[in-house]
Amino acid sequence: MTLPEMKYPLSRDQLLQLYYYMKLTRELDEQLVRLFRQNKVVGGLYSSIGQEASAVGTAYALEPKDWIAPMIRNVGGLLVKGYRPRDILMQYMARSGSPTGGKDGTSHFGDLKERHVVSPISMLGDLVPVMTGVAMGGRYLGQKVVTMTWIGDGGTSTGAFHEGMNLAASQRAPFVCVVENNQWAYSTPVARQVRLRDLADRARAYGVPGYAVDGNDVVAVYQTTKTAVEQARRGEGPVLVESKTMRMRGHAQHDPAAYVPPAMFEYWKARDPIARYEAWLTEHAVWNKKVKAELDSRIERELKEETAVAEASPLPQPEVAEQGVYCDGCHVIQAQWERPVDEVQPPQASVEAVWTVADFGGSNGQPQAPARAAAAAAGEPPSSASRKFGTDHGKPGGSATLARSKARAKPVPAARRRAPSGRPKGRR
């Protein structure tokens, strides 16, 4: 086995596990489509085909104690966190054995005690401030956890996303926000939403690092996200990761996605994340045909067994409809301290109520390059606000490499400055 150099090395077992989770996600998705056509799925069905590397690679970069809040296309992240296919199957089929007892469909379930999963919120963007709060709470309790949520390209245009990212930045919360740029906000292409080529550049508005990564390269996704997670865990504040991928189906099963140009589907089909990773594993001698066949056979067998369990689970009985709607002493909410409480109480936690601001917020008559301004606002050296993650696009499965972009050292001449709209000043 000869692997390219990685900042965060992965063992052979880990590399094969990434394949297992990605392929299991794909096969589970296809099984749900079959159940949907048999009228066994209650409600809508939202596919994650084409985005397996994004969900699996990002979630795999976390530790078991870390928290996630998935969205509808992050089934792979749920599997990494320990959920079984039967949980997702029964949830979509509204069976009594589902995590919500058949009371809700799709991915609206969580586990606050064991797996540290916060249930999705349908209002896009709202999970960003929620997971910022979870991150701040974990830090206060001394848990040293990192929180993560995902959001689509369209969701980054919501007010809740902006407010949440701004709060996370100002509080230096240990939070990673993964923007899954899958090219379409329902039927609106990214180019009709924003003027940005890289949505990772939104991070600069909050003074935090923003990384863009090839979202169909699972090794690159893992390496990029691991870098972001470790930064957040060290107390350096939140990080925004843009995963460039493609939604290979419509918004939901009822949507034929006729608005997507056929050539665009062909372009991304040639960059299928699972096919690319299979080629990568073969190229680097991580596996052979026998190992691949064994993994595929295991996935087929497990999914068949999980489907049988899900279909055998009955629909919920009418008399349990009122259960779990309101909490009447059903559980105890208690802080899980992992640090001495005295550390966050006076006199140890007492600080002088005086703020010291370098140069009193002025620029001393010198214009600042955007990266320097962002770094200064965050109280960090300029270089930390201008890091970029590049990927090897010339080769399927190429690993990511971390590079520092150089902040401009000289003021930009007035003739070359750009107006906020993107046009040169003085030109209409």
Going by the DSSP 8-state scheme, the letter that residue 396 receives in this structure is T
Compute CA distances 290 → 275, 282, 293, 295, 296, whole Å.
17, 12, 5, 9, 10
Instruction: Provide the pLDDT for residue 12.
Output: 97
Catalytic residue, candidates 247, 249, 276, 387: 247
What is the torsion angle, in degrees rounded to the nearest 10, for the CA atoms of residue 212, residue 218, residue 219 and residue 223? 40
Alpha carbon 139 to chain centroid, angstroms: 20
Per DSSP (E only), the strands in 99-208 are 147-152, 175-181, 184-185, 188-189
CB 383 within 8 A of CB 407: yes
Domain range enclosing 217: 12-320
- Judge whether 413 lies within some domain: no
Going by the DSSP 8-state scheme, the letter that residue 144 receives in this structure is -
Catalytic residue, candidates 34, 186, 234, 259: 259
- Judge whether 326 lies within some domain: no
Does 393 participate in catalysis according to the annotation? no
Instruction: Provide the pLDDT for residue 146.
Output: 98
Q: What CA–CA distance (Å, rounded) separates 421 from 415?
A: 15
Instruction: Provide the pLDDT for residue 263.
Output: 96
**Taking the model in full, what pTM does it have?**
0.82
Q: What CA–CA distance (Å, rounded) separates 85 from 77?
A: 12
- Judge whether 337 lies within some domain: no
- Judge whether 221 lies within some domain: yes
Q: What CA–CA distance (Å, rounded) separates 369 from 249?
A: 41
Instruction: Provide the pLDDT for residue 320.
Output: 87
Does 331 participate in catalysis according to the annotation? no
Q: Which residues of the chain have pLDDT under 50?
A: 381-428
For the chain, give the mean pLDDT: 86
Q: What CA–CA distance (Å, rounded) separates 388 from 211?
A: 5
10 Å CB burial of residue 333 (0-12, 13-18, 19+) is: exposed
Q: What CA–CA distance (Å, rounded) separates 147 from 417?
A: 38
The pLDDT tens digits of the residues spanning 347-389 come to: 888 888 888 777 777 776 665 555 555 555 555 544 433 344 4
Report the helix count and the strand count for the chain, using DSSP H and E: 11, 9
Q: What is the CATH number of the domain that holds 255?
A: 3.40.50.970
- Judge whether 294 lies within some domain: yes
Instruction: Provide the pLDDT for residue 360.
Output: 76
- Percent of the chain scored above 90 by pLDDT? 71
Compute CA distances 329 → 59, 100, 318, 333, whole Å.
33, 18, 23, 10
Contacts of 334 (CB under 8 A, 6+ apart): none
Catalytic residue, candidates 84, 162, 233, 251: 251
Q: What CA–CA distance (Å, rounded) separates 100 from 144?
A: 29
Q: What CA–CA distance (Å, rounded) separates 170 from 147?
A: 16
Contacts of 217 (CB under 8 A, 6+ apart): 53, 273, 276, 277, 391, 396, 397, 398, 399, 400
Does 197 participate in catalysis according to the annotation? no
Number of domains in the chain: 1
- Judge whether 375 lies within some domain: no
- Judge whether 392 lies within some domain: no
Q: Which residue has 């989770």 as its token pair?
A: 21
Instruction: Provide the pLDDT for residue 379.
Output: 55
Q: What CA–CA distance (Å, rounded) separates 375 from 204?
A: 9
In the chain, the amino acid numbered 293 is: A
Backbone φ and ψ for 341, nearest 5 degrees, come out as -60, -30
Q: What CA–CA distance (Å, rounded) separates 390 from 12?
A: 24
- Judge whether 394 lies within some domain: no
Nearest residue to 333 (alpha-carbon basis) of 151, 113, 170: 113
CB 106 within 8 A of CB 92: yes
